[in-house]
Amino acid sequence: MLPKRGYLLLITGFFIGLLVFAGLSRIYQGSQATFVGEKPESIELVFLYTSEKDSWIKAVKPLYEKWFYKRHGIKVNLVLYVTGTHESVDLILQGSVKPHVWSPASSIWIPFFEKKWKEMHGGETIVSEWYPLVLSPVVLVGWEDLVEKYNIKGYRDLYLLDRQGIDFKYGHPDPMLSNGGVIALLMEFCAALNKTPDRLTPNDLTSKEAIEFVKTIESHAVYYGKSTGFFGSWAADNGPEAISFFTVYENVVIENYPKAKAKWGQGIVAVYPKMGVVYSDHPLVILNASWVGVWERLAAIELLNFLLKPEIQEMAVEHGFRPVNPLVSLDGEVFGPEHGVLYKVPVLALKPPSGEVMETLFEVWVLVRNPGV
């Protein structure tokens, strides 16, 4: 049996270890189930996932296909669809994409997706099992010179820059499309109210003071993209004149720091807000939908097995993710100042907000966003 979909959220900061090790053992055992019926020569496994994982997943795809064929004698074509988290939810709900496996940026989206699906399908459950793949904190990012010059420690400092009449260019993904955008907006409200996400209430988000604070920061936005992956490459390609600060996953900094440093003489660096960071655990979700047959389910379970293998988790580390497999350690050459990040996250891991706060964030977004972007 696969582990049930209880909240093994990374946000506790220490769920790796014995719990994960035990879970991995159950997963590996679960993949040995016997499947009846004529074995197909080939199958397609449709994988819908978020862009920040794209380089890792694309590197893994041919390895998984070869491994699966050797293990089962079935040719599997791993079909990849890449988008932002919120958009991925909409694509499944609308039937535009019918994935067998789905990987949003964070497991906080699973209850939201399940709720929406049940409302549309008479209470039918679609989420079968899920398990975290990798960890990545959401960080505020800026150019080295700007972060040092203005002593940027978090989102309140961006607000203070505006109050001092200092111009800057800001950006993050659209919260209506991306988990990274939701977390960026959430952390701006946390800074406005000096409250951690789990202590926020819907009324907090609609207060005049909070709206004014967040609207001030958002007035400096120059772009709202579909995903966090865009911002790192855009900054590295176009430099400090294009964008000063933006919110992305830590791995985006790692992947783009060398290019930015080489082209502009300074890199982009992660700022871990003093209040703490919200992690994304990038779960792999096996769907219990009408289009998921027995052989697709086998391939989905095996994909999860494969992505949690130590050597594949080590590849994830090379792409800037923190592993969930306790047998894999961080690479100090990847996680360090030479890639714009810190080996050890120096702040607390924050608990997620309530579902009601998530819903309210989407409602207030229209009040605080820069209408000119």
pTM over 0.85: no
Mean pLDDT within 243-272: 95
pLDDT for the residue numbered 19: 37
For the chain, domain boundaries:
10-135+280-323, 137-279+342-368
For residue 30, what pLDDT is reported? 44
Q: According to the model, what pLDDT value does residue 51 have?
A: 84
Would 10-135+280-323 and 137-279+342-368 be classified into the same CATH topology?
yes
CA–CA distance, 285 with 110 (Å, rounded to integer): 9
Least confident window among 63-72, 219-228, 282-291: 219-228
Q: What is the pLDDT of residues 14-64, one digit of tens each?
A: 333 333 444 444 444 444 444 556 899 999 999 999 988 999 999 999 999
Question: 323: closest CA among 334, 314, 335?
Answer: 314
**At CA 91, angle to CA 85 and CA 96, rounded to 5?**
155
Dist. CA 129–CA 97, nearest whole Å: 19
Among residues 234, 238, 185, the alpha carbon closest in space to that of 214 is found at: 185
Mean pLDDT of the chain: 89
**Which tokens is 149 given?**
């010059």
Strands (E) located in 144-263: 170-171, 221-223, 245-249
Q: The domain 137-279+342-368 is classified under which CATH number: 1.10.10.60, 3.40.190.10, 3.30.70.260, 3.90.1300.10?
A: 3.40.190.10
The first and second tokens of residue 23, run together, are 């879970």
The pLDDT assigned to 228 comes to 77
- Residues 108-152 have pLDDT tens digits of 888 889 888 999 999 999 998 899 999 999 999 999 999 999 999
What angle in degrees, to the nearest 10, is found between the helix axes of 294-307 and 18-30? 140
CATH of 10-135+280-323, one of 3.30.450.20, 3.40.1190.10, 3.90.226.10, 3.40.190.10: 3.40.190.10
Lowest pLDDT segment from 31-35, 49-53, 200-204, 329-333: 31-35
